[in-house]
Structure 1
């Protein structure tokens, strides 16, 4: 309402005759704006006698508003941050690793965090230590690809491992290189919390010459070794028989329960219909391929009506296996369902080379 009134007053034209002096006009109650609920003091313009113009009270200054950004407004391109100087130490690491014949592209693509976290001096000291053991660049590449944590190790952490292997695990000095090549993770395993407890466990189950199975020393007893023994107890073996299987075939500790042991065990029991006692005598069964060795040979025997001992079925070469099949078929060997099978079908008794 006030804006409307000011607009109205601004359009008033002064009289051509100048007033002798400025006057103020009182406003009666008839002149109040009906839309206003209470009277207000209104300031009319003051007429100047010199200029014959009306002066209005100054309008309040408006605070300048921030102009709205139009949807079509394109912001200026961001300024590129200042480029950081190249990492000289990282380049030195790469040049050094390349100089000893390592695959640099593979290291950067797959093991970059380990290169970044390892200092150049530590890398050189570890390489010097391995060089003193006569490892070739090809062996370096394989060891680091299998266990890149070695790059972050130091001689003070690796030396106790080598001492443990030689003195406690009884590894011969000329076999040390072979042991590390087979299981590089040994070099980054704790002697106190991993290697020594596993050694004591393997010795406690009667495993002789642990030095022939040093690849097991970096395995956790609680997370890997004991769960596999307990699995065979659950499927019907006694603890004594389960331990006997692992003692006869320690590689069984390294096989996955879900991806290896379970599917082969199910086929052995359901499809082959054999007794678990055979597994106790021949735990190497789990080392053979289910699709490429176990199934084809079992199906071949089923078609011919034959049944070989488990070690004969799997351990013989393909030529020897087929030769035994021919001998059995041409000699009219009784089938497994024959009453004479238990007496005459063990064709392996005279030719077993084990």
Structure 2
């Protein structure tokens, strides 16, 4: 097939690319093979003329800012920090508090707390003979105190002394154990909880003031109702909490449920034992309950819960050795009270 294309000599032979097989001008300046350069003339193969590129337009000059205009504000990172915040941080640092931890974990509280209130709170606690070390511990456990005022804390202290019957010498111990008492409302939390604990027959609430900051509706009553759902009567459930008030602070999901499941399924014991010994839930499932129960199973022994768990490790192993290596002495034997009490264990066949 005859090539009918027109061939023109290249006006720029020195620009010939090495890889192009065809020497035609069309191949050199094809828009697909070579990008157009606006700084060089272009050749039109149809008219055999060279066209010059248009002159670039001049960029309009940007008028300079007149001297009477104010300069733009500096970037945020270069703006001077709040002097009041700096002063507050320096004061907290002078108390020995970890200001970096406070700002990272409790920023809203620190930002909203005024330096005047913080100094007032420090003065109030100092007047109650709290040491700097005790103050640091209180703030680490309940940083909301920094955002309180003496007028909001004083009613709580009055309530503890007058209504909860806490002695003045025990006030520091009560607050150190449960600093959240200082930020709990007397009307909506402390007083209703006090009445509830007294109503279920808990004697000497002043020995369990750590419970006063708990909500009756969301924490105390749900735990009593849980024990009702597993088979205890309301009277028996209340008896357990009256016998062992710390049970109110145990998590149902993470503490009570797994230990109850092991007690019923693996140990095969009666719920009546829990009524008599609710302290069972205070012992570690993995470190104490399981190892001691499995040891008794291997030796064929059966101890009551208080004997199984309440003794020290040395006393428990001693009982295991005595009861597994010796026959049960007769009650008339002089060794009966030395070796073991027959009522404290049972040998299983």
TM-score, normalisation: structure 2 = 0.73
Confirm or deny that 1:133 pairs with 2:145: no
Matched ranges for 1:31-50 at <5 A: none
Asked if the contact 1:282/1:311 (under 8 Å) is kept, the reply is: yes
Q: Structure 1: where are the runs of 5+ without partners?
A: 1-77, 335-343, 350-354
Aligned to 1:266: 261
Structure 1 pair 80–333 and aligned structure 2 pair: CA distance change class (3 A)? farther
Structure 2 stretches of 5 or more lacking a match? Answer: 1-71, 330-340
Aligned partner of 1:81 among 75, 84, 94: 75
Distance in 1, matches of 2:344 and 2:231, equals 30
Within 1, Cα distance between the matches of 2:75 and 2:297? 74
Partner of 2:320: 325
What's the secondary structure of 2:116's corresponding residue? helix
1:146 Cα shift?
A: 1.1
State which structure, 1 or 2, has the greater radius of gyration over its C-alpha atoms: 1
1:157 aligns with 2:152: yes
User: 1:332 offset after TM fit, Å?
Assistant: 2.4
Distance 2:242 2:320 in 1: 32
Cα deviations across residues 27-71 of structure 1 (Å, max 9, x unaligned)? xxxxxxxxxxxxxxxxxxxxxxxxxxxxxxxxxxxxxxxxxxxxx
Cα contact 1:102–1:137 (8 A) shared by 2: no
TM-superposed CA distance for 1:108, in Å, is: 2.3
Tell me the distance in 1 between the aligned counterparts of 2:345 and 2:242: 25
CA shift for structure 1 position 278: 0.2
Aligned partners of 1:102 and 1:140 also within 8 Å = no
Q: Which residue of 2 aligns with 1:92?
A: 87
Higher mean C-alpha displacement, 324-333 vs 263-272: 324-333
Question: Is contact 2:121-2:146 (8 Å) kept?
Answer: yes
1:305-339 deviation line (CA, Å, top 9, x unaligned): 000010000000000000000110122249xxxxx
When the two chains are superposed, the root-mean-square deviation of aligned CA atoms in Å is 2.2
Deviation, structure 1 residue 79? 9.2
Residues 215-245 of structure 1, C-alpha deviations (whole Å, 9 max, x = no match): 0000000000000000000000000000000
Residues 60-94 of structure 1, C-alpha deviations (whole Å, 9 max, x = no match): xxxxxxxxxxxxxxxxxx99636433111111111
Q: Does the 8 Å contact 2:175/2:182 carry over to 1?
A: yes
Give a deviation string over 1:131-189, Cα, whole Å, max 9, x none. 11222222222211111110000000000000000000000101000100100000000
Residue in 2 aligned with 1:346? 343
Do 2:302 and 2:345's aligned partners in 1 also have CA atoms closer than 8 Å?
Answer: no
Q: How many pairs align? A: 266
> Matches of 1:238 and 1:270 in 2, distance apart?
21
Match of 2:175 among 175, 180, 183: 180
Q: Is the 8 A contact 2:307 2:344 kept in 1?
A: no
Return the match for 1:143 from 132, 138, 143. 138
